[in-house]
Amino acid sequence: MYRDNTKKVQIGDRVIGGGNPILIQSMTNTRTEDVKATVDQILRLEAAGCEIIRCTVPTLEAAEALKEIKKQIHIPLVADIHFDYKMAIAAMENGADKIRINPGNIGSREKVEAVVKVAKERNIPIRVGVNSGSLEKELVEKYHGVTAEGIVESALDKVGIIEDLGYDNLVISIKSSDVMMCVKAHEILAEKTNHPLHVGITESGTINSGNIKSALGLGLILNQGIGDTIRVSLSADPVEEVRSARLILRTLGLRKGGIEVVSCPTCGRTKIDLIGLATKVEDMVKDMPLDIKVAVMGCAVNGPGEAKEADIGIAGGIGEGLLIKKGEIIKKVPEGELLNTLRFELENWQG
């Protein structure tokens, strides 16, 4: 497995690589200079299961805000730098646990060297990020377009710059909005480096399209043993990114914890508002600290049988419904009491 053989990198109080658990990352969309708004969002993300947070640092004020933000959060903080090498240095001086840069955007070798010098002094990891949308012109020409091979060559070139400066405390991130190109690029890169990889499908889109693209791309990559941290990039509240990432990891068998809700697709036998009920159940259980499967079924005909693999479930009827445990009917309750009955059982769950 590739992931078992990647180097270990410490980010704050967490360790990635070397077979350690894959960590979930997200990014704030507040102004980093606004400490209160940024902290409030990070605390919500922590509650949802975020394990590493990235904040943009476009100004010196944002870099200085990191010091105050760090005092109030409980997960490692990554500073995202785009162009100004001084912001990378200021972020590290103000407590960033890791920085994300593209050496090609930073500028001259002297500027990159100045960043690496401070990172080395403080033993702060550098995430080298390369995006298909900013691939160098010469690589586009060499490979006759934007390709997986070009993305990998660009990333390894940037990594080589930092390694030549005597520093290898690195994480690599290569991203593309083209799912299959992104998958291929990770397959090539995993054969060429043992640095930990941060995996994601960039600019994936809204909750609907973004979740589908991310689940496909991350699923194909992670199932090969590639990837040490992940982010589901969505045009949505960042909390949704974390929830999706948790579900992807759990579906792949790479993470336990959290309630899995399964529900039937509805048919002509359905006599209740199954879609509404399943949505309410999913919302109700999203923060419950249980590791079980809950089934929401539309009718009493197939409900008990189809819910056998679930730990607990409910099935609708005409004006009433069933509470089911391991496929066995426990009791009938009025339809209006189904949700509260399930809630009571879960809040008093004995396993």
Give Cα separations from 166 to 69, 111, 198 (angstroms): 31, 15, 22
Average pLDDT of 166-180? 94
269 against 3, higher pLDDT = 3
Q: Are residues 274 and 229 in the same domain?
A: no
Strands 52-56 and 77-80: parallel
Q: What is the enclosing helix (H) or strand (E) of 101? A: strand 98-101
- Asked if residue 84 has pLDDT above 80, the reply is yes
Q: Are residues 161 and 138 in the same domain?
A: yes
Query: Which alpha helices (H) appear in 286-329, and where do they start and end?
Result: 303-306
**Amino acid identity at 116:** V
List, for residues 2-54, the tens digit of each pLDDT value: 788 999 999 999 999 999 999 999 999 999 999 999 999 999 999 999 999 99
Q: Are residues 281 and 168 in the same domain?
A: no
| Cβ atoms of residues 151 and 134 within 8 Å | no
- Which of 196, 228, 251 delimits the end of a domain? 251
Average pLDDT of 57-76? 98
Q: Which of 7-21, 105-119, 149-163, 318-332 has the lowest mean pLDDT?
A: 318-332
Q: Are residues 172 and 63 in the same domain?
A: yes
Average pLDDT of 190-200? 96
CATH of the domain at 298: 3.30.413.10
d(CA 118, CA 38): 25
Q: Which of 99-103, 150-154, 305-309 has the lowest mean pLDDT?
A: 305-309
Phi, psi (deg, nearest 5) at residue 46:
-60, -45
d(CA 273, CA 275): 6
Instruction: Look up residue 80 and give its DSSP letter.
Output: E
Secondary structure of residue 309 in the 3-state scheme: coil
Residue 104 pLDDT: 79
d(CA 246, CA 22): 10
| Cβ atoms of residues 339 and 284 within 8 Å | yes
Q: Are residues 66 and 213 in the same domain?
A: yes
Q: Are residues 223 and 289 in the same domain?
A: no
Q: Are residues 202 and 237 in the same domain?
A: yes
Beta carbons within 8 Å of 78's beta carbon, 6+ residues apart:
11, 25, 52, 53, 54, 55, 96, 97, 98, 99, 100, 127
Share of the chain above pLDDT 70, in %: 96
Secondary structure of residue 74 in the 3-state scheme: coil
Structural domain tally of the chain?
2
Q: Are residues 247 and 274 in the same domain?
A: no
Which residues span the domain enclosing 21? Answer: 3-251
Average pLDDT of 328-337? 87
| Cβ atoms of residues 147 and 181 within 8 Å | yes
List, for residues 208-233, the tens digit of each pLDDT value: 999 999 999 999 999 999 999 999 99
- Asked if residue 116 has pLDDT above 80, the reply is yes
| Cβ atoms of residues 212 and 233 within 8 Å | no
- Which of 251, 282, 315 delimits the end of a domain? 251
Residue 203 pLDDT: 74
d(CA 115, CA 197): 21
Where residue 306 falls among pLDDT bands split at 50, 70, 90?
low
Q: Are residues 118 and 7 in the same domain?
A: yes
Q: Are residues 317 and 240 in the same domain?
A: no
Q: Are residues 95 and 175 in the same domain?
A: yes
Taking the CA atoms of 47, 244, 249 and 133 in sequence, report the sign of the dihedral they define. negative
- Which of 251, 286, 317 delimits the end of a domain? 251
Q: Are residues 114 and 89 in the same domain?
A: yes
- For residue 195, what are its two tokens? 């640095």
